[in-house]
Each structure stands twice: as C-alpha cells, then as structure tokens.
Structure 1
C-alpha cells in the first residue's frame, strides 16, 4: 500500500469517526448543554466586574474579586475531584447548576432590593467559581464515561471550538450587556442559560460509574491518596503534568502582559485591542477544528512537543512586534498552537485515567497546572516596571524552548 492509499484510508476512518460522533445522542446533549453553560459563564464573567466597578469605582476591589475567584481551584480542586468520583456524575452536574442558579438569584434579588454589599459579591463569587470547577471536572468525567475512547479527541475539539467561539463574540456580548437598562439584568441572562443546561442534562443517559464496595467507606484523604498514587503510577501523565505547570506559567506571563504592551507601546484603541483579540480567538477556532485531523497524522507525544516549540515562535514574534499586524499574528499563532496543546493534554488525561478515578486525577492535575500562574502573573508586573515589556516575551520564548528541550529528552515523544 503506497502513501497516497494510506492517507486516503486515514481520511476515510476520520470521516467515519466524525459521523459516528454526530449520531451519538449523549454527545449532542453534552454539546448543547455545554454551549449554554459556556455562554452563561461568559456573560457572568463580563457582568460581575462591571457591576463591582459601577458600585465601588475601585480597581483594587475588582482585582481582589479576581483573586477570590481564582482561589477555589487552588484550595478545593482536589476535594472537588473526590466528590465527582463519589457521586453519580449526571446528578452531581445537575445539582451544581441548580445551586449556581440559586446563588445568582440571591445576588440579583439583593441588588434589586438595594442591598449591594461587596462582601456578598465576594462570597457568591467564590462559591460560584468553586461550583464552576465542579461542573468542569464533572463534564470531563462524563465525557470519559459516555464517549468512545477513539472519539475523545474529536469530541474535545468540538467542545473547545464552542468555548473559543463564545470567547470571540465576547465583545458583542459586552456591547449587548452595556445596552441593558440595568447591568444586573445580565445575571438573569446567565441564570436562563444555566437553567437551559440544567434541563438539557436531564436527558443525558450515562452509565453510573463503578465504585468498588470496599472503597465506599474510605475517607476523603484516602481517596485523594488513591488519586495521587494513580497519577504517580501513570508516569507519562505525571511528566506531562509537570511540563504543563511550566508552560502555563509562561502562558500566564504572556497573557498578563499583552494588553499592557499593546497599550503602552503602541497606544492601541479599544477597538483595535478588541480586533487583535478576536483574531487570537480565530486562531483558537482554527486550532480546535484542526486538532482531530492533525492527531491522526502525528502521535500525541510528537504533537504536544511540536506545539510547545511553536508557541515559543509565537512569543518571539511578539518580542519583535513593531506594529499591530505582528501583535495580531503572534496572538493568532499562539491561539492555534495553545488550543491544539490543551486539547491533546485533556484528551490524553481522559484516555489514560480509569473512569472511577477521573474526577480525582482531574482535580489534582487541575490544581497542579495552575501552580505557576499566580507567581508568573505577579512577577511579570514587577519586572515590567523595571525593564521593557517586550523582554518578558523574549523570556517566555526562551523558557518555552527550554521546556521543549526537556520534553524532547523525556520518554514522551512517542506517546500514542
């Protein structure tokens, strides 16, 4: 069989798998439900800081709110993973959405009645984000349960496409929200979207994951230990997790400085900023659409390594950026390669983790993934006050290249 025939057969297999995916009722339910939740979450993400700023006119309060929303992943991710593994995942997902709707209802009623307490924003913001992580890990687990392993990459690519697309239309959503007579009415939009997902997920037909009887009486700490032991046993996933800790740190550094660099060095208008970030979103869409196809051509290990290298290239372009075109090009390429990288990581985690441990592994790795992000974001701000911001992009590129070299020397290049 020659190369052309092999390529043709691969394309036929890919086309057949894609058709099978679209015929699966559970996949369609998950896609519709997740689309609604992604839209509602985006509206919430835009409305909350606007409400806080309208109330306080304080950037400090807004920054503190961001920190409060970041805490649940660091503090609770591992425990959330245990809950996901201990309960029926469909029921857990529905309960999570119900509680989020209640929390938003309390905040909405409080604002409407004139009781605009900052402390209430902090409390509800913390628990809403904690529940969002509950939703995220439950979704990861359910996808593992109901989607055939051969279709996981394709399914995750579709979910990533929807999330990225909603991110692109963020400016349009912002304009719609600002046109509302009352900003708090944006919370109603989020509630309706969450309620839509709540209804859709009732039709999900998932097999209840198996929990061995002897493990039902384990303590939470024993459950966490079991997840940790499994992660360490899965040597490849453990090494990939360590790699992601550092790639996320460089990504956090890059993301936190792009807006400052664009405004400070090139004085871009709000419209121009929105344009370049929309182009970055288009890159993410292209990455989401192409991952399934590319993963059929390259083994996961090589694809992950190549994207790490190419992300470095995107950072270097930002270092040499002399106008808005190069800023847009850098963000576009970073969007493509980061999207492919993320889909590969999450798919590999799903494929190589036993179903009854997927919640714990997602929680543990999710927390570890974010370890370097706060430090890189905080440190980049201080460094940018001392040196030209563009050198931070050069630093991010060099760090990513070093990560690539380390990755190349590890036993990960030939992962399937």
Structure 2
C-alpha cells in the first residue's frame, strides 16, 4: 500500500456524510418544532382559560417534576435497554398524549388537573427520550465530531426557536387552539418514522447478572470521581433554575403586563431564537479561541445582562433586545454544558451519567418555578427578572475562582 493511499484513508470523513447523524439531526429538527409550538401554546392557552400566573407556573412545575422524581434512576434503565427502541416508545407515547390534549381542547375542558397530568406524562416520556438520544449520539457519532455535532444540533434547535414562535403565531390566528397541538402530534409521528430508520450501533457489553442497584452505584461512583463534571453540574443546577423561571415569566410579562396579543407574544419570542441561532454559529469558534471554561462563564454574564434589560423593559422593543441576548447566552451555555458532559462520559455509562447529571441540572427548577407564580401574583414579574440577574452575577464570580474557568 502506498503512502498516498494511507493518507487518503486517514482523511476525515465529513459529518454530513454520516447517515446516523443526518437521521438524528432530522429527528431533532422535528421534535424541536413540535416542542417549541407546544411550549409556547400551552401557557398562552392556560392564560386564556384562567388569566392566572399561578395556573401557568403550576403547569410548568408539573412538567418539571418527572426530571426530579425519576431522572436519577432513568439513566440506569436507558443503559440496560436498547436505546433506539426506548426512544421510539417515548416518541410514540408523546404523540398519543398530544392527541388526548387536542381532544380536551376541542371539547373545551376547563378542569385543570387533566392538563397537569398530561404535562407530567409528556415530560416523563420526553426525559426518557432525551437520555436515550444522548446515548444514540454518543454511539453513532465519532468523538472528534461531537463538538461540531452538538453545535449543529444547537443550531437546528435555535433555528426552530425562530420559526416555532412564527408557526405558533399563525396557529393562534386559527379559530381553535387544538390545531397547534395536532400539528405537534403529527411532527412526533413523523419523527417516529424517521428515527425507526436509524441503524443502531451494538450496545456495549454488559454483565448479565448485574443488579439495578449495582448499575446505579457504578454510574454514581463514576460521576463523583469526575471532579470537573460534578462541579460543573452544580453551577448548571443554579443557572438552569434562573433560566427556566425567566422563560416562563417572560411569556406572562408580555401577555399580562405589556398587553400583547397571544400571536404577538409568539412573534416577540422569536428574538430569543434569532439570538440562539447567532450563538450556535459562533460557539465552536469562541470555544477554540476562549476555551470552554471562559465561554461557559461568559454565558452567565450575558444572561445577567438580558435579565436586567427585562427588568427595565416597559415596551416590547427593549424586550426584543433582551430576548436576543438571552438566546445568544443560552446557546453558548447549552453547547458548553452538553458537549462537556459527552466528552467526559464513556459510552457504557452515558445513560446513567446523563440521568444523574440531568436530575441535578433540574433539581431546583420545580421549586423555583412554582414559587415564582406566587411572587408574580404579589409583586409582579419585575422582581423575578432582577433576582435572576443577581443570581447569575454571583454565580459568575464564584465560578471565576474555580479551575473550571481554565478548561479548554
């Protein structure tokens, strides 16, 4: 064999020629469309039904509870099961639940408990799918392409966050709310068909007699032994709480305090998607020049600036600027957090590490979101934005003193 042929063989293949990547990217696109429409429609629907910020935050709390209750163990199930089969089950069940939700809206059900129950079950399935999908990415995409692949996943998600509000706005112009939910269910069904074509890689060999508890302990020990991963997880836990509260609060602020129509709220929220798209295009280059540690820390400063702008907003023009900055920061933050977790985790532990870290990522979210509804009821939305900005500033100063700042 000649030297030239060896060099040709060593030439890296483009990620765009990886069929598994294209299937996973397509499914990410469809689910991002579906989730974005659902996430924007549901709070607006509940505001129309109840005119209550507490009802909206209670629904959001119901959606966050599965991560807290099941997240730390779901990774064990993911590592013990066929990830492709689990992902397909999760997608199929979500499509069915969305059809039930559309039927409830069609018959104009005003009792809120079924909405909370469906939100809880939807997010249980969604979290199971997300953990399985992380494993599928790890198993099907070469390690050297993980940062590039995650940046492209982030780009797709943020591109859809631009288009999702536009689509939601169009849905809200139609005479019935349930049309948007039906579109979401259809997107899940289409994703099911696409993902079923994925050529699933063989699972890592496992000991046939290992117990559930032994599997969990193995994942927990690996997590605790990785100082960088668990320390980064603690910072993400705090930042996620502020980010989720603001994402819920800003819809209520635009609808109830700025007096925007539901379709206008959906269109204004597109600014976050535009910022996110810009961030996903810049994230790989910024990581190479700044390093992952600095980029992650910078995302907290950008978030702080966005939240303080929201605090001072008295019309939708300033809110649009704040949402753009927030979207930019969220893109930097997400690419850093999830790429770092993938890089730090071996394939055979990806489900358990994703489950454990995912639980910590979200452990404060149900509490803060539920409490925020009562805060808004008493003092309005401005206090939420101010507190979120101050927390991000404090986190940045603490983070800056750790070795994580120097991560490349």
Q: What is the TM-score when the length of structure 1 is the normalising length?
A: 0.83
> Where do residues 145-160 of structure 1 align in structure 2 (5 Å cutoff)?
145-160=139-154
- Tell me which of 80, 92, 100 is aligned to 1:86: 80
Instruction: Indicate conservation of the 8 Å contact 1:245/1:371, yes or no.
Output: yes
Inter-CA distance 43–389: structure 2 relative to 1 (3 Å threshold): closer
Q: How far has the Cα of 1:172 moved from its partner?
A: 3.0
Deviations 1:141-164 (A, max 9, x none): 111111122211221122122222
- Tell me which of 338, 352, 362 is aligned to 1:360: 352
Q: Which moved more, 1:218-227 or 1:277-286?
A: 218-227
Q: How far has the Cα of 1:412 moved from its partner?
A: 0.8
Q: How far has the Cα of 1:186 moved from its partner?
A: 4.3
2:372 pairs with 1:376: no
- Tell me which of 90, 93, 118 is aligned to 1:96: 90
Inter-CA distance 384–126: structure 2 relative to 1 (3 Å threshold): closer
2:231 pairs with 1:243: no
Aligned to 1:342: 334
Aligned to 1:134: 128
Q: Which moved more, 1:227-236 or 1:99-108?
A: 99-108
Q: How far has the Cα of 1:277 moved from its partner?
A: 1.9
Aligned to 1:310: 302
Q: How far has the Cα of 1:391 moved from its partner?
A: 4.9
Aligned to 1:254: 246
Inter-CA distance 122–268: structure 2 relative to 1 (3 Å threshold): closer
Instruction: Indicate conservation of the 8 Å contact 2:68/2:359, yes or no.
Output: yes
Q: Which moved more, 1:349-358 or 1:33-42?
A: 33-42
Deviations 1:332-391 (A, max 9, x none): 112101211111100000111111111111111111111222333344444456667545
Instruction: Indicate conservation of the 8 Å contact 1:89/1:208, yes or no.
Output: no
Instruction: Indicate conservation of the 8 Å contact 1:227/1:360, yes or no.
Output: yes
* Structure-1 separation of matches of 2:218 and 2:308: 42
Instruction: Indicate conservation of the 8 Å contact 2:233/2:357, yes or no.
Output: yes
Q: Which moved more, 1:85-94 or 1:95-104?
A: 95-104
| Structure 1: tracts of 5 or more residues without a match | 1-15
Q: Which moved more, 1:270-279 or 1:344-353?
A: 270-279
Instruction: Indicate conservation of the 8 Å contact 1:47/1:184, yes or no.
Output: no
Question: Which secondary structure does the structure 1 equivalent of 2:405 belong to?
Answer: coil
2:388 pairs with 1:396: yes
* Structure-2 separation of matches of 1:332 and 1:317: 11
Q: How far has the Cα of 1:220 moved from its partner?
A: 2.6
Aligned to 1:330: 322
| Structure 2: tracts of 5 or more residues without a match | 1-10
Inter-CA distance 78–47: structure 2 relative to 1 (3 Å threshold): same
Q: Aligned pair count?
A: 397
Question: Which secondary structure does the structure 2 equivalent of 1:96 belong to?
Answer: helix
2:15 pairs with 1:21: yes
Q: Which moved more, 1:59-68 or 1:223-232?
A: 59-68
2:210 pairs with 1:209: no
Q: How far has the Cα of 1:63 moved from its partner?
A: 5.2
Instruction: Indicate conservation of the 8 Å contact 1:287/1:339, yes or no.
Output: yes
Q: Which moved more, 1:133-142 or 1:112-121?
A: 112-121
* Structure-1 separation of matches of 2:378 and 2:98: 42
Inter-CA distance 386–22: structure 2 relative to 1 (3 Å threshold): same
Aligned to 2:157: 163
2:280 pairs with 1:288: yes
Instruction: Indicate conservation of the 8 Å contact 2:169/2:266, yes or no.
Output: no
Q: How far has the Cα of 1:21 moved from its partner?
A: 1.3
Instruction: Indicate conservation of the 8 Å contact 2:169/2:263, yes or no.
Output: no
Q: What is the TM-score when the length of structure 2 is the normalising length?
A: 0.84
- Tell me which of 201, 213, 221 is aligned to 1:221: 213
